[in-house]
Amino acid sequence: MRAAPRPVAMAAASPAANDTAGEDRFRRLLAAEGTDNLLVCMVDMQGRLVGKRLTARQARETPGEDMHACDYLLGVDTEMVPIPGLRSSGWERGFGDFSIRPDPATARLLPWQPGTLLVLGDTVDHEGCLVPHAPRSMLRRQLERLAAAGFTASMASELEFTVFQGDWQQLRAGSYRGLTPDGFYSEDYQVFQGTGREPLIRAIRNGMEAAGIPIESSKGEGGPGQAEITLLHAPALESADRHVIYKTGVKEMAQAAGKTASFMAKWHEAQPGSSGHIHLSLWGLGGESAMADAGGPHGFSAGFAHVLAGQIALLREMTLFLAPVVNSYKRFQPGSFAPTKAVWSRDNRTAAFRVLGHGRSLRVECRVPGADVNPYLAYAALIAAGLHGLEQRLPLDPPAEGNAYLAEGLPEIPTTLREAMAALDRSTVLRAAFGDAVIDHYVRAAAWEQAEHDRRVTDWEIARYLERA
C-alpha cells in the first residue's frame, strides 16, 4: 500500500437530508399507531446493517437526530475483530465515535419485524462530513461525479441464495457439517420443487413489497435449495439501499421459518455458486435514455460504448469491490455461469458483461459479483470505471461470440483475493476516483482477510494429508 494517502473532501450533508417530503413521511411513520421502535442503521464494509434500536418515545422526542456509533464499525472483519494497520480507526486512536445521520428518504416499516420502523443513514464525522471510506459515502461521491458528467444511473441487483434446513443456531451447533439444502436437485425454473418452499418465498415477496422494495419475480435456481428473487431497478443509491434491506430481511424471515438463507458465494465445490448480478442503465439529467442510438455501432450511444469500455478496461482493478472475500473467487470456474474473461457480449451468459434489451430497456449486466457483494462498493466501482471510459473516450472492442470460456488472449478475471487486492492497490485510476486513503483502507482489510484464511487448516488439507503426508 502507498505511504501517503490523498484525503478526499466530502459534502457536509446528504441531499436527502434536506428533503422536506421525506422528513414529513418519516415523522408520520414514526408517529403511526403500532410503531414502537426505530432501527437506525448504517452499512459496514461487508454490506451488513449495523446500528441501534430506539424506543418510539425516544425517537419521537429527537426525530432524525444523529446517532453515535464506534468508528470501528468500518474497521472490523466479518467476525467483528478490529483490523490492525488501518489509519481511520484502531487501538492507537482509541476507537472514537462517528455518527449515523438518518436519511429520511429511506424510512420504511418492516412487516416481518412488528412495530419496527427502519431508517438508513450516512456515516459522518465530528464535523458532519461524510466519512470517505463508508460504503454509502463512496457511492454518493461517484454519483456526484456522474451527475457532473450529465448522467444518472438506474441499477438493480439479482441476488441468489441457498435455503438450508435448520436455523443458523442449529447449523452453528453442528459446526456447519452435514448441511442439508432445502431441496434435492437442480430446480432452475422448476415449479414443483419451488412450491415446497413457497411459504417462505411468498413471505419474502410480500414482505418486501409491503416494505417498499418492489419485486419483479422469483424462481428456483441451479442448485438444490437455491432461489432467486429479482428486485426492480431504481436510482442507484435507492437500489443499493433496497439490496441491503432485502438481504437482511431474507435472512430474518428464513430464521423465523426455522431455516437458514445463505448468500455465501460458493457453499460447496460440487454445487453452483450464488451470484449477485448487477444491471446498469444510464439516463440524462432530463430523464432521457443515454444508452441507445439506432445509428451507432451495436445500437449503442457513443457514451454507453465508452462506459462499457471503461468497465472492461478496469475490471481486474475493481474486482475486489465485486468479489470481496476469499470464497468469492471459488465461483469463477469455466462452465459455471460465472465469468472468467473480461469481455462483453450480446445476451451471452459466458461473458463478464452481458448487454440486454433495446431502446429504453437497453442495459448492461455485470455478471462478476456473487451474492456476497456489498452493493455500494460494487455500484461505485462500476460507475467510476464507466466514468474513466467516458473521460478517456475509450473505444469498445467487438463483442465476444460463442463460448467466452474458451476464448484465448483475453484478460482474465482475478482468480484469488490476493490477485484482486494487488490489482486494486496498483490502480491509479481508482485511486484518483476514490482517494488513496479509501483504497488503502480496503486493500488493508483484504490483506487481513487473506492472512486470516492463510493461517487456517482446512478439512480438505486434513483429508488429503493426515494419513498420506
- List, in order of start, the domains of the chain with CATH numbers: 15-131 (3.10.20.70), 147-434 (3.30.590.10)
For 121-153, what is each residue's pLDDT tens digit?
Answer: 999 999 999 999 999 999 999 999 999 999 999
Query: In the chain, how many H helices and how many E strands?
Result: 14, 15
User: Is the full-model pTM beyond 0.85?
Assistant: yes
SS3 of residue 300 by DSSP: strand
pLDDT on residue 166: 96
Are the C-beta atoms of residues 379 and 139 closer than 8 Å to each other?
yes
Any idea what the Cα angle at residue 340 is, between residues 146 and 248, rounded to 5°? 60
Q: Give the phi and the psi of residue 289 in degrees, each rounded to 5.
A: -65, 135
Arithmetic mean of pLDDT, 395-400:
95
For 262-294, what is each residue's pLDDT tens digit?
Answer: 999 999 999 999 999 999 999 999 999 999 999
Model confidence at 28, pLDDT cuts 50, 70, 90, reads very high
Residue type, 132: P
For 323-371, what is each residue's pLDDT tens digit?
Answer: 999 999 999 999 899 999 999 999 999 999 999 998 889 999 999 999 9
Residue type, 249: G
Model confidence at 4, pLDDT cuts 50, 70, 90, reads very low
